[in-house]
């Protein structure tokens, strides 16, 4: 047995241990039909990313699950990988080129892509190396990249299949457009933030009359593209104008007034302007009523030729000019301050412009159906379950998915245009002859696919699909996906419908949703607030185990958590506690022979108690982890290791360890080693490094990672001994409380006399004198049936079925003891009143479960007994 270092220093062991794990390939999994597989795919972080607290939490939760299942004997596979992150990577490379005085367009597409691959090789693995620092036990031999050869092949295959099926088409629909990055972006890349704005109330003249229709808009510049005004068909205020025509202010174009149920009668004036080319809801209304779609903006968000005299102006410049002109013409009714959510591009912060454009889309109506059914029939479960509603709401209201991006970095769309007739041919390679006109010259579509298109295939493309690989057959579907609630709509849903469409199976059985890691004030961590905390700095200072433990403690699925440095320090202190306790145990084991096995008859009551406790702990922690209650499980581990094992049991056995003549010393050492070994195994998924270091030195075994997960053993269940030791603990706590209230220091020993009429209670104390005396600071312990020989000035501590006396009047202020007993009498009076009140309440008796009624009756008996003892002691002291 190797001795542990005197102090716990994670810097001296974490990198070394991780390197040994990698070298021995403990994380690697191959198909093994004799074992049941358990598979997780890592949500691929962007290659532009650096480790933040969200990554740390997400990957810690995954690592806990995979380590747990690995120890349970599953063939556990955790597939890591990274995402090519089209927009953010392209921005990084463009900025790098700018610093060198190079323009992207001068370099050309091929030259730019060459530089981007070089950038990826140099910087794209930063996040991977950082994930290793927190102990992620991924199968790095299987690491994937969304643009590697296999994933790219899968992307092309899916595009071709969906296009052939008629699910992929090119058409004009509303998309999110970034005027700075000059590309369409997905809903997942739009951040909605509250901004102070206005409602501009504008009068639209009704043709052929002197009347007006008042509308309210937050984007007055878009009136240039208005195709109609709309009212609710049930709105009595406007029934007479439906079918009439209004004159579009500043433009003079005539547009109809239509009736559509989309309009909310209670919102604004009850009349809305319909701009089909610049609002997703208006687009749908426009299609229903066959309205013209008038795009008024260029790609840089300046007004185009459809804007007449405003052409060339920036959208906000045009707004300013138009508002002034509306005011001059008497058509601006009023301006009302209004705070509303505005969509901005999460990469550059630019306000996104909803715009109708020719793009590639995926039809979603049919593909959404099996994804909806998956949750309804239980094939897919969310933890917590409440996220079912979020998932279903989004799917049941899904729109066609815009999948094309005006970028160079990414999977290029496999569509080719005949230079002679414009025919579109979708194929794996550029066609040689046009099927329509026989032309031989083609140009490939310049766009790339949305990054989410490739990541939607992640659970099966990483296992070799579209080839029918053995890995795919064995490890797919995966078991659990771990992700934050902020991404559920986009990535999770797209993986589910893609999984069903391409493989006929749901890609995972469970989705564990976690919340955000916020700062200590509850704010979202962000660069703008400057409140971000670097996980690597925490690891450098406190160790990865302390960070992991902090992130999981108190963590409940779906809920946000606040990050406090005080909690990190507490986690580090917990690691120190484990380390020091382990050193103590190992130092004592080295001095004696510890048997490999121990007959229960050779164990003391204290040994059986802690063995029974760790046995129950294994059962409870396993049940919690199976239900993904990782925060509850880790709290139970903390309470057991810190309190039950370190603060109680180790202190209980010290007299036996220090007494060479004690016949139970071997049993104590065996119990210490056995319980510590099992506790380390249970803690390993949460704190992998410290548990590995201690376990290997304690047991001499190769690794805790490949050891067996503790299981409940009937032969380790000792209910009688658990009850007995809990009684002893209550007595010790009572004695310590009394001494503390009188400011008696631990160094002052006193004769402790335990009095109980019950022989079985006296037997418990008689059999535990050695450690009971130590824990209660006793100079001597006497156990007897009555108060014979106890002086009237003795101080007492009361427990059910027994009283403990300490005749050391010289250390005690009797007035304080009387005051304490009177307070106890007052407390018990209230408790008895409460219990009697409940038991005399007919409603309680008739409605409460019998177990609750029995519990209150037991309390009544206990409090009555304790009250009698208090009064007896008071009578003895007050004369």
699 part of a folded domain: yes
Domain boundary among 341, 357, 389: 341
**Cβ atoms of residues 673 and 650 within 8 Å:** no
CB-facing half-sphere around the CA of 467: CA atoms within 13 A? 11
Work out the burial of residue 232: count CB atoms within 10 Å of its CB; fewer than 13 is exposed, 13-18 middle, 19 or more buried. Answer: buried
Q: Among 16, 855, 155, which Cα is nearest to 452's?
A: 155
Residue 811: its pLDDT value, please? 60
366 part of a folded domain: no
**Lowest-confidence range among 240-254, 566-580, 613-627, 798-812?**
798-812
pLDDT in tens, 148-171: 999 999 999 999 999 999 999 999
12 part of a folded domain: no
pLDDT in tens, 767-826: 999 899 999 999 999 999 998 988 877 888 888 889 999 875 656 667 777 888 899 999
327 part of a folded domain: yes
Residue 259: its pLDDT value, please? 96
834 and 726 in a common domain: no
Domain boundary among 782, 812, 842: 812
Domain boundary among 791, 812, 833: 812
655 and 712 in a common domain: yes
Residue 813: its pLDDT value, please? 64
DSSP secondary structure letters along 673-735? HHHHHHHHHHHTTTSHHHHHHHHHHHH--S-GGGSPPP---GGG--HHHHHHHHHHHHHHHHH
Tokens of 616: 């129950």
Q: Ranked by mean pLDDT, which of 198-212, 496-510, 763-777 comes out on top?
A: 496-510
**Cβ atoms of residues 36 and 500 within 8 Å:** no
Backbone angles phi, psi at 231, to 5 degrees: -130, 160
180 part of a folded domain: no
741 part of a folded domain: yes
Please say if the pLDDT value at position 60 is more than 70: yes
Instruction: Domain count for the chain, please give it.
Output: 6
Per-residue pLDDT band for 876 (boundaries 50, 70, 90) equals low
First-to-last C-alpha distance (Å) of the chain = 63
222 and 329 in a common domain: yes
785 and 844 in a common domain: no
461 and 551 in a common domain: no
CATH of the domain at 757: 3.30.2320
* Cα 472–Cα 368–Cα 511 angle in degrees, nearest 5: 55
223 and 98 in a common domain: no
708 and 755 in a common domain: no
Cα–Cα distance measured from residue 653 to residue 651, given in angstroms and rounded to the nearest whole number: 6
548 and 433 in a common domain: no
4 part of a folded domain: no
Indicate yes or no: pTM above 0.95.
no
- Interval 724-751 mean pLDDT: 88
11 part of a folded domain: no
696 and 553 in a common domain: yes
Please say if the pLDDT value at position 879 is more than 80: no
The rounded percent of the chain whose pLDDT value lies above 90 is: 79
pLDDT in tens, 115-141: 999 999 999 989 999 999 999 999 999
Please say if the pLDDT value at position 417 is more than 90: yes
Around Cβ 189, how many Cβ atoms within 10 Å? 24
Element (H, E) at 781: strand 778-784
Computed over every residue of the chain, the mean pLDDT equals 93
Per-residue pLDDT band for 738 (boundaries 50, 70, 90) equals confident
467 and 331 in a common domain: no
Q: Which domain holds residue 236?
A: 193-341
**Lowest-confidence range among 184-193, 415-424, 554-563?**
184-193
CATH of the domain at 238: 3.90.740.10
850 and 776 in a common domain: no
Cα–Cα distance measured from residue 405 to residue 110, given in angstroms and rounded to the nearest whole number: 17
**Cβ atoms of residues 656 and 665 within 8 Å:** yes
Alpha helix positions (H), 382-469: 387-396, 451-455, 458-461
Q: Among 234, 226, 315, 307, which Cα is nearest to 273's?
A: 226
Tell me whether residue 153 is annotated as binding.
Answer: no
Q: Ranked by mean pLDDT, which of 30-34, 49-53, 786-790 comes out on top?
A: 30-34
487 and 580 in a common domain: no
Tokens of 396: 């049941």
CATH of the domain at 584: 1.10.730.10
Residue 395: its pLDDT value, please? 93
């Amino acid at each position: 047995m190797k001795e542990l270092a005197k102090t716990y220093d994670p810097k001296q062991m974490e990198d070394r241990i991780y390197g040994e794990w990698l070298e021995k390939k403990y994380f690697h999994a191959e198909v093994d039909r004799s074992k049941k597989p358990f598979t997780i795919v890592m949500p691929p972080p962007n290659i532009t990313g650096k480790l933040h607290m969200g990554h740390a939490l997400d990957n810690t939760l995954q690592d806990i699950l995979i380590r747990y299942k690995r120890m349970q004997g599953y063939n556990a596979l955790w597939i890591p990988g990274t995402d090519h992150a089209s927009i953010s990577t392209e921005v990084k490379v463009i900025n790098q080129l700018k610093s060198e005085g190079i323009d992207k367009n001068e370099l050309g597409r091929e030259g730019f892509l060459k530089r981007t691959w070089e950038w990826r090789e140099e910087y794209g693995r930063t996040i991977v190396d950082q994930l290793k620092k927190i102990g992620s036990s991924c199968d790095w031999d299987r690491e994937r990249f969304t643009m590697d050869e296999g994933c790219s092949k899968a992307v092309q295959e899916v595009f071709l299949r969906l296009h052939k099926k008629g699910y992929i088409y090119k058409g004009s629909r509303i998309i999110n457009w970034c005027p700075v990055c000059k590309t369409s972006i997905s809903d997942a890349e739009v951040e909605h933030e509250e901004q102070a704005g206005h409602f501009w109330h504008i009068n639209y003249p009704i043709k052929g009359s002197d009347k007006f229709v008042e509308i309210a808009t937050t984007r007055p510049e878009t009136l240039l593209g208005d195709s109609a005004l709309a009212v609710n068909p049930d709105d009595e205020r406007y029934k007479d104008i439906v079918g009439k025509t209004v004159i579009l202010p500043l433009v003079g174009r005539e547009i109809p007034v239509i009736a559509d149920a989309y309009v909310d009668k209670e919102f604004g004036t009850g009349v809305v302007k319909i701009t089909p080319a610049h609002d997703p809801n208006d687009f749908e209304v426009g299609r229903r009523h066959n309205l013209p779609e008038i795009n008024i903006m260029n790609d840089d968000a300046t007004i185009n030729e459809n804007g007449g005299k405003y052409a060339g102006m920036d959208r906000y410049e045009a707004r300013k000019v138009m508002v002034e002109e509306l005011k001059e013409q008497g058509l601006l009714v009023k301006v009302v301050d209004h705070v509303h959510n505005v969509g901005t591009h999460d990469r550059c912060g630019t306000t996104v412009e909803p715009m109708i454009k020719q793009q590639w889309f995926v039809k979603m109506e049919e593909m959404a159906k099996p994804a909806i059914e998956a949750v309804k029939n239980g094939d897919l479960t969310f933890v917590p379950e409440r996220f079912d509603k979020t998932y279903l709401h989004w799917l049941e209201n899904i729109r066609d998915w815009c999948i094309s991006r005006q970028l160079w970095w990414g999977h290029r769309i496999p569509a080719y245009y005949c230079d002679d007739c414009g025919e579109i041919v979708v194929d794996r390679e550029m066609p040689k002859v046009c099927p329509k006109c026989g032309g031989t010259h083609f140009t490939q579509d310049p766009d790339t696919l949305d990054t989410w298109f490739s990541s939607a295939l992640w659970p099966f493309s990483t296992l070799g699909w579209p080839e029918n690989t053995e890995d795919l057959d064995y490890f797919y579907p995966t078991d659990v996906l771990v992700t934050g609630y902020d991404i559920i709509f986009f990535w999770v849903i797209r993986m589910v419908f893609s999984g069903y469409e391409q493989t006929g199976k749901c890609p995972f059985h469970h989705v564990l949703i976690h919340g955000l890691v916020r700062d200590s004030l509850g704010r979202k961590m962000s660069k703008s607030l400057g409140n971000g905390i670097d996980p690597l700095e925490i690891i450098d200072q406190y160790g990865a185990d302390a960070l992991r433990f902090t992130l999981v403690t108190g963590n409940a699925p779906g809920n946000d958590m606040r990050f406090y440095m005080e909690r990190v320090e507490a986690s580090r202190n917990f690691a120190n506690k484990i380390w020091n306790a382990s050193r103590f145990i190992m130092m004592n084991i080295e001095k004696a022979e510890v048997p490999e096995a121990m007959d229960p008859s050779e164990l003391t009551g204290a040994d059986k108690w802690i063995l029974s406790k760790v046995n129950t702990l294994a059962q409870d922690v396993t049940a919690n982890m199976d239900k993904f209650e990782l925060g509850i499980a880790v709290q139970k581990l903390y309470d057991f290791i810190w309190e039950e094992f370190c603060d109680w049991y180790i202190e209980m056995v010290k007299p036996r360890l220090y007494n060479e003549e004690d016949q139970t010393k071997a049993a104590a050492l065996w119990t210490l080693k056995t319980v510590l070994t099992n506790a380390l195994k249970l803690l390993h998924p949460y704190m992998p490094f410290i548990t590995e270091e201690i376990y290997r030195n304690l047991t001499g075994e190769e690794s805790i990672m490949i050891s067996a997960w503790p299981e409940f053993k009937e032969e380790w269940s000792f209910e009688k001994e658990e009850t007995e030791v809990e009684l002893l603990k209550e007595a010790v706590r009572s004695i310590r409380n009394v001494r503390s209230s009188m400011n008696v220091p631990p160094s002052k020993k006193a004769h402790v006399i335990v009095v109980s009429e019950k022989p079985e209670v006296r037997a418990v104390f008689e059999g535990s004198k050695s450690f009971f005396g130590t824990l209660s600071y006793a100079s001597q312990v006497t156990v007897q049936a009555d108060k014979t020989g106890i002086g009237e000035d003795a101080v007492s501590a009361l427990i059910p079925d027994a009283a403990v006396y300490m005749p050391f009047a010289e250390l005690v202020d009797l007035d304080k003891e009387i005051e304490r007993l009177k307070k106890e009498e007052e407390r018990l009076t209230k408790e008895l009143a409460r219990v009697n009140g409940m038991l005399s309440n007919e409603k309680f008796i008739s409605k409460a479960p019998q177990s609750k009624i029995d519990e209150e009756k037991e309390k009544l008996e206990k409090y009555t007994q304790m009250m009698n003892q208090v009064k007896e002691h008071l009578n003895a002291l007050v004369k």
